[in-house]
Amino acid sequence: MMKGLKKWRLFSLLAVLTVFLAGCGQEELSTLLPAGQVGQDQFNLLLLSSAIMLFVILVVVVIYLIAIVRFRRSKLGEDHIPEQVEGSHKLELVWTIIPILLVLLLAVPTVYYTYKLGDVSAMGAVDDDGNPENLVVDVTAKLYWWEFEYPDLGIVTAQELVVPMDEKVYFNLLAADVKHSFWIPAVGGKLDTNVENVNKFYLVFEKDSKNLKDGVFYGKCAELCGPSHALMDFKVKTMPRAEFDQWVTAMQATGENQVVANPAGEEIFQQSCIGCHATSGVGETGAVGPNLATFGDRNRVAGFMDHTKEDLIDWIKYPQKHKPGNKMPGFDGQLSDSELDDLAEYLMGLSVEK
């Protein structure tokens, strides 16, 4: 009975905290609505630390309020000379030891989770047939876009990461120019993409992105990287493993037979764009511009603009206006309106999901 009561109390405290912390935020990018084990672990740590810290704040505020109410000179009289107390060993011990205990209470799970979330030993493991046991994605951050290569599957995409649900997905992170930081707030904490060394970590995706407002999770660059740092967004699609396998098969097929929505547009693409952009998803990392094999399936143009033909044409004409400092030249004046129209139609038709 007592034990049940205690549990109930703890539960209600946690529930209050949950409401307090999770009151707001949007599912596709809030750290307070974790969509996977890593984010959940971090959220638990947030709850624990918040509870401890709220306790500390409460104690301080209570002593503080009593002191400033009780010991005002207006109450005690102008001439009151208080006793000049030097200190109290007992009290000072109390407020040294209790904080130490509180810190330990937080330090133990902190160390545990640090090692747990830092464990990438299963990366690259193979089963008896020599097939990789885990999905590995190589992320390359560039000014101001993201390239995602699946080295074991021979495919590469950009701006929209596609991952299977309910398994550990391992990431190799690197920056191609200046330092960036890879962050999917709803799924788990960030890790920097350094210029000189590969960082490794894993994330677990436990929510299907289909049910979200835009059908994607939001990813962010979290390290100042230049003028358009704020616009260096990417999106994440999560799907059950079977669907993911279909997506991979379709991607692997983009090398040979591709649906061409507008042949004239394809021709313009071959003349003006192919130098930097590939339309085949087969390949490796290292392209000058984002891979466009799945362009028609994407949620945004350039990571942040509406996925409409008008916005796409505007982007092609004036990329520097929309994303200052990016590496794409503007095509205003170089392509006529009808050419841009054909090109946009062609790009919007590039799809592996339809």
Partner 1 sequence: MSSVAQKKGFGATLWDWLTTVDHKKIGILYFLGGGFFFVVGGIEAMLIRWQLHKPNNDFVSAGLFNDLITMHGTTMIFLAAMPILFGFMNAIVPLQIGARDVAFPFINSLGFWMFFFGGLFLNLSWFFQQVPDAGWTSYASLSIASEGHGVDFYAIGLQIAGGGTLMAGINFLVTIINMRAPGMTYMRMPLFTWTTFVASAMILFAFPPLTVGLFFLTFDRMFGGNFFDHTMGGNTIIWEHIFWIFGHPEVYILILPAFGIFSEIFSTFSRKRLFGYPSMVFATVLIGFLGFMVWAHHMFTVGLGPTANAIFAVATMAIAVPTGVKIFNWLLTMWGGSIRVTTPMLYALGFIPSFVMGGVTGVMQGAAPLDYQLHDSYFIVAHFHYVIVGGVVLGILAATHYWWPKMFGTLLDEALGKVTFWFFFIGFHMTFLIQHWLGFWGMPRRVWTFMDGQGWNSANLISTIGAFLMAIGVIVLVYNVIITSVKNVKVANDPWGDGRTLEWAIESPPIYYNFPATPLVRGLDTVWIEKMEGNETGLTPAEPIKDIHMPNGSIIPILMSFGLFIAGFGAMFRTEESWGLPVLIFGLLWTFVAMAARSLQDDTGYYVKKDEILRDLKRKGGQK
Q: Contact at 8 Å (CB) between 193 and 178? A: no
Beta bridge partner(s), residue 138: 149, 172
Q: Contact at 8 Å (CB) between 222 and 176? A: no
The nearer residue to partner 1, 38 or 248, going by C-beta atoms, is 38
**DSSP one-letter code for 273:** T
Instruction: Provide, rounded to whole angstroms, the least separation between the CB of residue 265 and partner 1.
Output: 28
Instruction: Provide, rounded to whole angstroms, the least separation between the CB of residue 103 and partner 1.
Output: 5
Backbone angles phi, psi at 203, to 5 degrees: -135, 155
The nearer residue to partner 1, 240 or 325, going by C-beta atoms, is 325
User: DSSP of 239-259, one letter per residue?
Assistant: E-HHHHHHHHHHHHHTTT---
The nearer residue to partner 1, 94 or 259, going by C-beta atoms, is 94
The amino acid at 207:
K
H/E element, 152: none
Instruction: Provide, rounded to whole angstroms, the least separation between the CB of residue 165 and partner 1.
Output: 20
Instruction: Provide, rounded to whole angstroms, the least separation between the CB of residue 54 and partner 1.
Output: 8
Q: What is d(CA 80, CA 84) in angstroms, rounded to the nearest whole number?
A: 12
* CA of residue 151 relative to chain centroid, distance: 21
The nearer residue to partner 1, 86 or 127, going by C-beta atoms, is 86
Instruction: Provide, rounded to whole angstroms, the least separation between the CB of residue 286 and partner 1.
Output: 15
The nearer residue to partner 1, 148 or 171, going by C-beta atoms, is 171
CA distances from residue 146 to 30, 151, 177, 185, 341 in whole angstroms, order as listed: 21, 16, 12, 16, 26
Q: Kind of pairing, strands 217-221 and 234-239?
A: antiparallel
The nearer residue to partner 1, 121 or 257, going by C-beta atoms, is 121
The residue to which tokens 């929505």 are assigned: 261
Q: What is d(CA 209, CA 218) in angstroms, rounded to the nearest whole number?
A: 10
Instruction: Provide, rounded to whole angstroms, the least separation between the CB of residue 79 and partner 1.
Output: 9
H/E element, 173: strand 168-175
The nearer residue to partner 1, 183 or 269, going by C-beta atoms, is 183
The nearer residue to partner 1, 11 or 20, going by C-beta atoms, is 20
320: buried, middle or exposed (CB in 10 Å: 19+, 13-18, 0-12)?
Answer: middle
The nearer residue to partner 1, 2 or 91, going by C-beta atoms, is 91
Instruction: Provide, rounded to whole angstroms, the least separation between the CB of residue 307 and partner 1.
Output: 13
Q: For the chain, give the longest Cα–Cα distance.
A: 95
Q: Is the dihedral of CA 239, 245, 249, 252 positive or negative?
A: positive
Instruction: Provide, rounded to whole angstroms, the least separation between the CB of residue 206 and partner 1.
Output: 16
Q: What is d(CA 20, CA 168) in angstroms, rounded to the nearest whole number?
A: 30
Instruction: Provide, rounded to whole angstroms, the least separation between the CB of residue 218 and partner 1.
Output: 7
